Each structure stands twice: as C-alpha cells, then as structure tokens.
Chains A and B, each alone.
Chain A
C-alpha cells in the first residue's frame, strides 16, 4: 500500500494562497476557517534578508499524535496511503487532537467536529491529486507515493535539499519542503 506525501518547492512558491482558496471551494470549508495556509518565514536584518515561503497543512504524520489521543477513534489513519482522516460522525469535538498536533493543523468546524486537510481523499479515490496541487499557478507542489522510488516526489527528495516541519516532535511528518 502506497504512502502518500507532498513535496513543496519553496524556491518557486510565491505565497499567492491559491492552494488556500481552492481548498475552500473544493471542500466547502466554512467562512473564517482554512485547512491550509501560507507562512512567510523571514530571517535576518534589513537589507540582508532571507525568506522561505511555505504552503502548510496537516502533515499526515507517520507517527500521528492526534490519532493516538482521539478518544472515539474518529481520527484515524486511512487505508489509502496512510492519510490521516477524521470521521465526522464519530468526532465529539473534544479538541484533544488539536492540543496534540504540533502544527496547528486542526480546527473545530462550526458543526462541532475536528476538521483539517484530507489530502483531498475524495479526489485521490478517483485517481486525482489534491486540489491545491492541481491549481498551484507556480507548479511548486507535488504529491504522490513516497514509498515508490520512481515517483516524482521521491525523485525530487533524492535530488534536492529539503526539510520537514518540527521534526524534533517525532511525528514523522510526510510533507517536505525543497529549499
């Protein structure tokens, strides 16, 4: 079974938020909430500056604390590609997962359940990739099977320097940023 992950080229990303916008229309994310977001990480003093721009979301961790702490089993690892998913009907909105996630990836949907990025599993099931990857005007986002050495994502990770977010949390995040 494949292990899905994402690779994002921070060199090309301009932080335009198309990924955030499309997630809202694709997934009916309610006003006031977003499942993904842009971070502009600025370092240095004017004028000697560096900035990394990142499109961030749930990292679909291999060692997901949100799943372990869920009292109802609503948060779980999907059979398809190891994607971390919340079954809305089972979620009691207790927020344990929100506290456990080091990435702030989750929020309580106005209807009471914990919500977050699903890697657009409804599209993946139909053979498409996540909506954000499909619309990005800069083509900086890639998605695929990390365990397949011939996949585009694996090749990018083999050939380019990259990092993941807060690796020290031990969550084994599955989104990698090319630098």
Chain B
C-alpha cells in the first residue's frame, strides 16, 4: 500500500535576489512499513524534501499525496490537524516541551487528539517502555540525556498513531552509542509494528541500517536503492 506519492515536486526559494532550486523535480513513492534513509551532502535538499512531506512547507510545483489526500490543498488549521493525526515528527533538537515530563510530553499529543484519559495513560506507558524509558517517565527533558530525549521524541511521534514518522537527522546531536540505541529501537518498531520511518542522515552507520537509501544531490534524486 502506498502511503506517500511525490509527483514532480520542485521547491524554489527566491526570498533574496538569487533563486535557490532546493528541490528540483523529485518523484518518489513510499510504501507502508518502509525504513528509508535520505542521504546527500549538506545543502542537497534533504530537509526541504522532508518538510514538504510533512506538510510544513509547500512545493512550488508538483503534488504530494498522503494516504490518498493531496496535502497542498490543505491550509491553516486543517493542515495542522492533518499533521496531528497523520504524521509523526522527530527533529534534530528542541523536540520536547521542557516544562513537561517525558510522560506528559507523550500524553500531550494524544490529549490534542481527544484520546480518553484511560487510553492515553496506558499507551504512554507502553510507548515509553518500548523506547526503553519505562523508568524515567516522570523526568523532565533537561534531566534526560540527548539520546533519551530523542527516544521520548520517537515515543511522542508514535503516540498519535501516524501513517508514518519523519525524522530529520535524528542522530546528528548524539554520540555513537546513543545513535545505535535509537536506531535499534526505530528498527524494532518498524519490524514489529510495521511502522513507516523516513529519516535523513549524514551518518554512514545510520545509512547501513536503512532498508532503502535515497541519495539526493542538488535537489535531485540520483539513486534509490532497496536492500533486501
């Protein structure tokens, strides 16, 4: 089943005099249950592409279809609501609400979705246990390591039962041990729960774990390799 279809997407930034062709004619499909890495040098357009996939940015031309819905047509609150219910996000940093505990951060997203107290409490504990933080549910982000914070972010991203999870360089700020740990958890969730992960990275070790590697350069896809 296709979760995402990208058709001839272009993104041109022209806020200054120079036009930047950040994404230049990309067409890609993603299936349910993929574990895909987008790689490429700095400035190649990875973040721009992921932002458009997540409905955070509009393509200049082309269409993006998520679960059969063309998201360029959504505006304002409708778009925010679409993100809330369909997409999980893990960012490089500033992922969590600093004044809330790990548990509250995960619960928050389900509260916005209107999930009942009983259900969200149960799910929060399950998710935090799944990312190996069952013991730290009442800690605030400042008292967690960078790796632990990113694991909370993964739990938070999954809390809303999204169609897929987007992660823009989730390991960029982590040491190698935390990187490996985070990747193992993502991989396990992908394998066991069939959750779709799409992430960008510079890190060769991260690339190694991916089952599909999409290489971009100058806003174009130059290779798309599926390993089996």
Decide whether A and B assemble into one complex: no
Q: Which residues of B pack against A, CB within 8 Å?
A: none
